[in-house]
Structure 1
Amino acid sequence: MIIIPQLNQVIEGNDSPIEMDSKTYEGFYVSYNTYDRVYYGSDTTALVLGQMQKFFILNGDHRKQYEEIVEQGFEKCLSYYKENIHKSNKYSDTLLQ
């Protein structure tokens, strides 16, 4: 029996329109990535806005935390990202102030 590790796991989001930075995006989702460790430097968990237009990436595994709040919507997930911005990956999109 061969076991293939899960390389990228998508945690549910939603398809509701989201306005950010004066633009409207179609929904969001959360993605956990173990495949690109060489590129990113570690496992990463990304809050993905729209159709992959923005990636707010945290180093490490944040699946459990996002799973607990994802049903509360994008703003709640973005708040979690901001609370943990010190773990932000160097390839993460920048938040406008």
Structure 2
Amino acid sequence: MNLKKNDKVIILAGKDKGKTGEIREVMPSKNKVVVTGINMISKHVKPNQNNKGGIQKMEAPIDASNVAVVCSKCKKHMTPKNKVEQSGAVTRICRKCNEAI
């Protein structure tokens, strides 16, 4: 999975198709990501000493295959590829414009 926290992504499938957002959380073991403001659900919460109960809106995880990274330079969505430099460092680059993400 070539997705990282704070990547700007576009949604490829589902009810929020075409919307863009920033990755808030990555769950590689489940192959899912949480994107801010996307895939909002209503969750019923019981009241406790710290907060009032009720219905809260929150983001639900999306499968990683339904999002694509948006390049900051060419503004196109793609799957980044890894480039290994001579020093051994790995950088992610855009497949369309060959710029570092």
Using the size of structure 1 for normalisation, the TM-score is 0.24
**Bigger helix fraction:** 1
- Structure exhibiting the larger radius of gyration computed from Cα positions: 2
